[in-house]
């Protein structure tokens, strides 16, 4: 599997990755294209796509700062799900000495429970911390999420570091009222 930075000037690959992104996440969890393009200029943001034989396998968008990686989005092409590609993409992310943090929806249905089980099989630990994520778009409410970490449970200080980074850096690339830009 080949991992490539997503480059919007490569329209063929960009269109495939953007289509997967739009079809894999609720609208409230998606950046608008212009916000995503602004995030691409941030050196802490790593939008990576996974390819095999010229076929898009999946995407992984993550942020890296200090000793942390924040997994923002992970998706595998619908026709390839359940074949181990998600685990392989996670191995790419985990090949680091960074503490990795991600969030998932509360455990309210079978899909959310399966998602937790997937990450637990990959070595992630559910933490006691909760996170209210501001939506990527103004017309949606904030979302309460559960926090997982790897290779071990994060400490309260690490959680505070994560919150600070998201609230100061990641939020810059979400739709905001015009007066705040």
Q: Dump pLDDT digits (tens) for 25-52.
A: 989 899 999 999 999 999 999 999 999 9
User: Residue 139: is its pLDDT beyond 60?
Assistant: yes
The topology (CATH level 3) of 2-180 is Aminopeptidase (3.40.630)
Residues 55-76 have pLDDT tens digits of 999 999 999 999 999 999 999 9
Q: Encode pLDDT of 97-136 as tens digits.
A: 999 999 999 999 999 999 999 999 999 999 999 889 878 8
pTM given for the model: 0.93
Q: List residues bridging with 41 in a β-sheet.
A: none
Does position 3 have pLDDT exceeding 60, yes or no? Answer: yes
pLDDT at site 177: 61
Using a 10 angstrom Cβ sphere, with 0-12 exposed, 13-18 middle and 19 or more buried, the burial of residue 178 is: exposed
Q: Give 56-60's long-range contacts (Cβ < 8 A, gap of 24+).
A: 56/13, 56/16, 56/17, 56/20, 57/1, 57/85, 57/89, 58/20, 58/85, 58/86, 58/89, 59/6, 59/17, 59/20, 59/21, 59/24, 60/89, 60/92, 60/93
Per-domain residue ranges of the chain: 2-180
């Amino acid at each position: 599997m080949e991992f490539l930075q997503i480059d919007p000037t490569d329209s063929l690959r960009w269109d495939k990755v953007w289509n997967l992104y739009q079809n894999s996440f609720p609208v409230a969890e998606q950046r608008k294209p212009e916000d995503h393009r602004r995030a691409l200029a941030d050196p802490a943001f790593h939008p990576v796509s996974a390819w095999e034989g010229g076929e898009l396998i999946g995407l992984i968008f993550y942020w890296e700062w200090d000793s942390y990686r924040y997994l923002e989005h992970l998706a595998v092409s619908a026709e390839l799900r359940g074949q181990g590609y998600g685990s392989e993409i996670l191995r790419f992310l985990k090949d680091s000495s960074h503490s990795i943090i991600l969030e998932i929806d509360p455990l309210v249905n079978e899909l959310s429970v399966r998602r937790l089980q997937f990450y637990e099989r990959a070595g992630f630990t559910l933490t006691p911390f909760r996170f209210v994520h501001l939506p990527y778009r103004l017309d949606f409410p904030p979302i309460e999420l559960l926090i997982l970490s790897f290779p071990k449970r994060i400490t309260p200080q690490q959680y505070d570091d994560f919150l600070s980074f998201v609230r100061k850096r990641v939020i810059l690339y979400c739709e905001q009222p015009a007066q705040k830009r």
